[in-house]
Chain A
């Protein structure tokens, strides 16, 4: 408070200032008034002087004339002297023509001229000094002196110096100056009294009340309410402001606490930088990010930052700062590495803004924060890697929201399916459901995802052209730290080649290489299937065992190649002779099995059996030669009374074929359990290699 009082005493006084200003204003106003008065007075005086000259001339010409007529020179000279003295003219000169005639000159010239000492001197026209004096006259006038008859007797001239003008103006000036001074002093004193009593007094009481304040300068008590409205309004306004300040102060405290909490909570380092001096202030967290304490970093300056920053980042930081200083960037932001006390690099997000500028537009004070973004940078790194995987993986990747909306697909997906990115993004995942999969399949897949978070399996991925891509699909749920599903990632691996290979393998495993007919394995599957259908539909199934007659001779005669060619021809003929629903399979060598499903009775199969016998016995051309073979057919029917297995049916058909062979070949025979039982016991198993060799 003492310091404040000392400052108050040093600071200029408003009263003094107001007095000085008002005094200056009063002086100025009255000075202008004085100038106006001076000018108007001057014009008026000059006008008066001219009027005096005219009046003097008129008076003199009138009064001189009789004396001039009477040659009373001295009398009119006395008149002139009187006129000059009374009116304080500078000079009066009379030119007497008649007297001039007497003395032999145009005029007898006489008059009075005021000398340098103020005394009047008789004018003599031959005195150059007096003539010079006349030339110094300020104003002059001349009029003719005429007699009653109008004849000019002479002239009279009146000269006026500027002395009266100067004297009167001097008097006016003195009067105005005195008036101005008196008014100025009076008004200033009056103003001082009024200001003191009605303005500064209340202000001083308000000021005294304001000095009684707390440590923050907020008055302890409300300011007094002065009597006069203007100051009362001021007092009330200040009180209102003080209330607002108190409220704002409380609010600021809260805000500050929040800010501090935010800084503390967000682990934010703060810095202040005087750009011109380099003086820098960090908070404890700033140092903590790089593993130091503020004491360890002391003395702190902008060089502290420079010494810890990565050289590459420091250079970029400088460039960004320059752009911010030039106004190209609204604020400064730079991710930079700082050397940790332990030697590793710490990523910080350095942000700031110049808040104060010098008058010439240079940055002065800059404030900013440091945030440790090492974890984020690491995450970004990982994300970048994932993005690389997403971008460059050969597998199609679909990112789906937890609600099933497709968020993104990678290029591999669009390449595999033919869909454009925009075709699927923001669409529901269900557009990728395939009708090749049952509802149960989908339900099972979703259940697996829900329970295990992952599902993997083959999936026919629909393609844009309507086809389906065989894929190995893996769907994984991505969960957040709370365990909630955030989105799903689907990997779609193209297994078209694999599928083709599988088909080939399947073909190899189930079909005969030479004829392309189903082999024993596939025959057995279809047999089981046909048995199941026949039993369910209560239909009749005929199993025909077929063995060529004379094939060994063809093989032996024309070679194995011709034999193979014959087998191929016959296999093709059988395909044409059979119904659509029938199956013909090659067991090996010249043995074939035909399945005739969907029969209503035993007689339904005889036409087919006849067509078989006919087509097989027809000649075949082998390399320009014609070959002839026939076939023996054994037929077993299903269902039978007891439970029969597929193998049993085949054995029954084989036994029946054997009977056909026995009975002269190129015929068919139905299995009869009583008839063939003895034979069957004597024969080896059908699939035994020894059986074929024996048959052949």
Chain B
């Protein structure tokens, strides 16, 4: 769990190569898969859809990607459509874990196996659940931040957390892993605020609020990636630019440069492309009648200025899907 940051990227990359090398034989001839994705317009989900398509093509599966555009109704309609199409398997990245339950139920009634990818489900009647190792990724981010604060000599300062909803498993895992790391490094938390509408304003206000209430605030951890600018503006508008560090979970393409130039201390980058591939692989194994693990975790890449170059190949393929 707490493997050194130096060794982690090489191991992950090695595994990636092994897995890629193993998948060369087509098992999905004349078989049809459906991938239900919340919104393919979002880069993360698009990259994961690409991973699905890529691996399906590798295994000779016909795959149809249904983007629900974050609408539950569409997600259900696509589920019904896939069932009517009598697909052989469904790769599901649900709009939310609750909606996944209905999809899984409909699929189960139709006798269609489902592999869940990334967003989990409030049930377990799936073949396998492919998810990021949020705890470990957050822990690793905590270590990165602690190292940065030590370098700044701000160890006595506090860290504010702008979190995704903590009712989500991934949110809880991320918070727990990050706090464990801070505790290990004797860094105090300044408190946690939860995003609800994920708007810019919300993130900005949370930032200003945390800064205002915690004069000794030395860092902000944004559990998401898309509102990083609101956080940066909040810090700036609070007059704390250069006095408060920002670290994010997930990745945006511009994070590469921001990490490189120090505007961002680091980011925990999930590997959607890899997760999509892994989902198809798991479905394939299941359809072959082979045993698969119920829960499979994919490493989150703890990227900082120190290991950016080292992770770059994986970031390009598995994170950015390029």
Contact = CB atoms under 8 A, between A and B. Distances in A.
A73 B80 contact: no
A36 interface: no
Contacts of B84: 104
B73 A74 contact: no
B101 A74 contact: yes
B258 interface: no
B102 interface: yes
A74 B76 contact: no
Contacts of A98: 73
A565 interface: no
A102 B122 contact: no
B192 interface: no
A77 B72 contact: no
Decide if the interface of chain A is mainly helix, strand, loop or mixed: helix
Contacts of A75: 98
B85 interface: no
B5 interface: no
Contacts of B243: none
Contact of A73 (B71, B77, B102, B109): B102
Given A77-B102, A99-B76, A104-B84, 11 more contacts: A70-B72, A71-B71, A72-B98, A73-B101, A74-B100, A74-B101, A78-B98, A78-B122, A102-B80, A103-B80, A104-B80
B99 A72 contact: yes
B106 interface: yes
B73 A102 contact: yes
Given A102-B76, A103-B80, A104-B80, A74 B122 contact: yes
23 contacts: A70-B72, A71-B75, A71-B99, A72-B72, A72-B98, A73-B76, A73-B99, A73-B101, A73-B102, A73-B105, A74-B99, A74-B100, A74-B101, A74-B123, A77-B101, A78-B98, A98-B73, A99-B76, A102-B73, A102-B76, A102-B77, A103-B106, A104-B84
A102 B83 CA distance: 11
A99 B99 CA distance: 13
Contacts of B123: 74
A103 B100 CA distance: 16
A73 B106 CA distance: 11
A296 B80 CA distance: 127
Q: Give the interface residue-count category, chain A.
A: 10 to 19
Interface of B: 71-73, 75-77, 80, 84, 98-102, 105-106, 109, 122-123
Q: In this complex, which of B76, B77, B84, B100 has the most chain A Cβ atoms within 10 angstroms of its Cβ?
A: B76
A577 B151 CA distance: 224
A75 B105 CA distance: 13
Contacts, number: 40
A122 B84 CA distance: 23
Nearest to B73: A71
B235 to A, nearest CB: 36
Given A102-B76, A102-B80, A104-B80, A74 B98 contact: yes
Q: In this complex, which of A70, A74, A78, A98 has the most chain B Cβ atoms within 10 angstroms of its Cβ?
A: A74
Interface string A46-87: 000000000000000000000000111111011000000000
Q: In this complex, which of B72, B75, B84, B102 has the most chain A Cβ atoms within 10 angstroms of its Cβ?
A: B102
A104 B71 CA distance: 19
Contacts of B80: 102-104
A74 B122 CA distance: 9
Nearest to A75: B98
6 closest A-B pairs by beta carbon, nearest first, are A74-B101, A73-B102, A71-B72, A74-B98, A71-B73, A102-B80
Contacts of B76: 71, 73, 99, 102
A99 B103 CA distance: 12
Nearest to B75: A71
A67 to B, nearest CB: 9
A124 B73 CA distance: 21
Nearest to A73: B102
A428 B122 CA distance: 144
Interface string A391-407: 00000000000000000
A74 B101 CA distance: 6
Contacts of A71: 71-73, 75-76, 99, 102
Contacts of B106: 103
A409 B99 CA distance: 143
Nearest to B72: A71
A102 B102 CA distance: 12
A124 B77 CA distance: 20
Contacts of A102: 73, 76-77, 80
Contacts of B99: 71-74
B125 to A, nearest CB: 11
Interface string A347-368: 0000000000000000000000
A102 B103 CA distance: 12
Contacts of B77: 102
Q: In this complex, which of B71, B101, B109 has the most chain A Cβ atoms within 10 angstroms of its Cβ?
A: B101
A104 B101 CA distance: 19
A102 to B, nearest CB: 5
A125 to B, nearest CB: 11
A556 to B, nearest CB: 197
B92 to A, nearest CB: 13
A156 B5 CA distance: 55
Contacts of A70: 72
Contacts of A77: 101-102
Contacts of B101: 73-74, 77
A558 to B, nearest CB: 191
Nearest to B97: A74
Contacts of A72: 72, 98-99
Interface in A99-135: 99, 102-104, 122, 124
Nearest to A122: B105
B281 to A, nearest CB: 27
A109 to B, nearest CB: 11
Nearest to B121: A74
